[in-house]
Amino acid sequence: MMICTLSYQQYKYERGVTAAEQRAADVHAGETAAALRELRACLGRTFRMRHRAASRRDRSGTVPVEYPVEEG
């Protein structure tokens, strides 16, 4: 990442960007968006798995055993 002085930022604002600079910025923005989507999906899977595993445990930390119920 490049840090620009205020005078340079003002110059770029007044002058605008070239087509090549705009394409490069668009590519960079697309790559960043894709990386964020992947990170969000990965974190979502991680937390969803933890939540499901935690809900199966009771307070003592053991997994409850379900016994068949005999009717009759």
- Would you place residue 28 in the very low, low, confident or very high pLDDT band (cuts 50, 70, 90)? very high
Chain mean pLDDT for the chain: 79
Residue appearing with tokens 């798995």: 49
Residue 10 has what pLDDT? 86
- What pTM, to 2 d.p., does this model score? 0.48
pLDDT digits (tens, 9 = 90+) for 30-57: 999 999 999 999 988 888 766 555 555 5
